[in-house]
Amino acid sequence: MKALVLAGGSGTRLRPFSHSMPKQLIPLANKPILEYVLEDVGRMGVTEVAMIVGRWAADIVRVIGDGARFGLRISYIEQDQPLGLAHCVRLARPILGDDDFVMYLGDNVLPDGAADVAAEFRARRPAAHIVVQKVADPHRFGIVEVAANGAVERLVEKPAQPRSDLAVVGVYFFTAAIHRAVASIAPSDRGELEITDAIQWLLANGAAVEASRYEGYWRDIGHTEDVLACNGRLLGALRPDIAGEVDDASSVVGDVVVEHGARVVRSRIEGPAIVGAHTLIEDSHVGPNTAIGRACTLYATDLAESIVQDGSSISSVRGLRSSVIGRSAAIKSIDHGSPYHRLAISDHVSVELAG
């Protein structure tokens, strides 16, 4: 089985961050989203990957490389315009050939993995095997209507009036039958070739389509709230590891990782949390569910439930909560009397907070 990983989306819902980086490289627990995807693909026993990339191709190639460190061989395919998931299957056909494959959306995170579903697909090999999970807001997703006997009856992409609350998780398994389906459908009203339409075509033409309910954690990273929630979930799996320096005037409580070259001075860190390599935390309090990237500086700062990306500095800011700070940002307070703050700023931004 091969893999098709989709990493070409523009991430408009994640602006301002997606103005300066691909959403698939946004860090969760100090690791890009796309790395979690590739690790899961590797656990399925896949070794050959076709990756669809768009305007951020150079950034993704620079971070991910040829896939060797994941035990994979990655070939990159550029998609000039976002013309739909089924269009990505068309583009990848020369690499996929007639092999079975898993199609994995590069902005989906499944910390518990989908290897068990891959094993189910391999055992029965239906034309399509989709993964579903109940959601509270089904109009945001591709939705599956399932009969009382569990058979897949219908798929609808982001319906205005959903008739089901079973959303399609961004991991699909296909045999070569999907290529005929993709070649047979027309663009939707959105102007895209929808993979849900291709699967519906398989159903209409008598092909076997199966669905598995996914009971593990799944997050489609579409909004800042998704980034923070998933970051907290992944931090919860950390095991304590103090490779950097923590002075005697500091305290580290719970599951905390302090990477090599990082320094914690007269500060308190409450886990789960991670402090990236060569970061300095001084006279500060870092609360739980916080990921601080590499080469950052925190001075006289109090923050929790946040992400601080590489190279950023925060000085004399108290009460930062549920914030995402872009790369190489600089934040400082000019009035210590301020209460809590909530920020969502992108890369290379400087902010001064007045009281």
Residues 253 and 215 occupy one common structural domain = no
Residues 255 and 188 occupy one common structural domain = no
Q: 246 pLDDT band (50/70/90 cuts)?
A: very high
Residues 167 and 29 occupy one common structural domain = yes
CATH for 69: 3.90.550.10
Mean pLDDT of 264-286: 98
Mean pLDDT of 327-338: 76
pLDDT at res. 352: 64
What is the 8-class DSSP label of residue 198?
A: H
d(CA 96, CA 90): 10
What is the 8-class DSSP label of residue 268?
A: E
The better pLDDT of the pair 191, 5 is held by 5
Residue at 192 is within a domain: yes
Residue at 182 is within a domain: yes
Residue at 232 is within a domain: no
DSSP 3-state of 316: coil
Burial class (CB in 10 A: 0-12, 13-18, 19+), 237: exposed
Q: 154 pLDDT band (50/70/90 cuts)?
A: confident
Residue at 228 is within a domain: no
What is the 8-class DSSP label of residue 258?
A: E
pLDDT at res. 189: 84
Residue with tokens 């940002």: 329
Residue 278 Rama label (left phi>0; alpha psi -120 to 50; beta): left
Angle, in degrees to the nearest 10, between helices 195-204 and 85-96? 80
d(CA 138, CA 127): 25
CATH for 322: 2.160.10.10
Residue at 229 is within a domain: no
Tokens of 283: 């006279």
- CA 149 to chain CA centroid, nearest Å: 33
Q: List all residues 6 or more positions away from 204 whose beta carbon is below 8 Å from its beta carbon.
A: none
251: nearest Cα among 233, 232, 231, 273: 273
pLDDT at res. 319: 87
Residue at 153 is within a domain: yes
pLDDT tens digits along 188-214: 888 889 998 999 999 999 999 999 999
Four-residue CA torsion sign, 184, 187, 192, 198? negative
pLDDT tens digits along 76-129: 999 888 789 999 999 999 999 999 999 999 999 999 999 999 999 999 999 999
Q: Are 337 and 353 in contact (CB under 8 A)?
A: no
Residue at 56 is within a domain: yes
Q: How many domains does the chain have?
A: 2
d(CA 301, CA 323): 13
Sheet containing strand 307-308, edge to edge, reads: 241-242, 256-258, 273-275, 290-292, 307-308, 324-325, 344-345
pLDDT at res. 22: 79
Averaged pLDDT score across all residues of the chain: 90
Tokens of 60: 């993704």
Q: 29 pLDDT band (50/70/90 cuts)?
A: very high
Identify the weakest region by mean pLDDT among 3-7, 146-150, 199-203, 261-265. 146-150
The range of the structural domain enclosing residue 336 comes to 238-353
Q: 63 pLDDT band (50/70/90 cuts)?
A: very high
Residues 115 and 164 occupy one common structural domain = yes
Mean pLDDT of 157-166: 85
pLDDT at res. 223: 80
Count the neighbouring beta carbons within 10 Å of the beta carbon of residue 205: 12
Residue at 50 is within a domain: yes
d(CA 346, CA 327): 7
Residues 218 and 243 occupy one common structural domain = no
d(CA 312, CA 299): 12
Residues 297 and 158 occupy one common structural domain = no
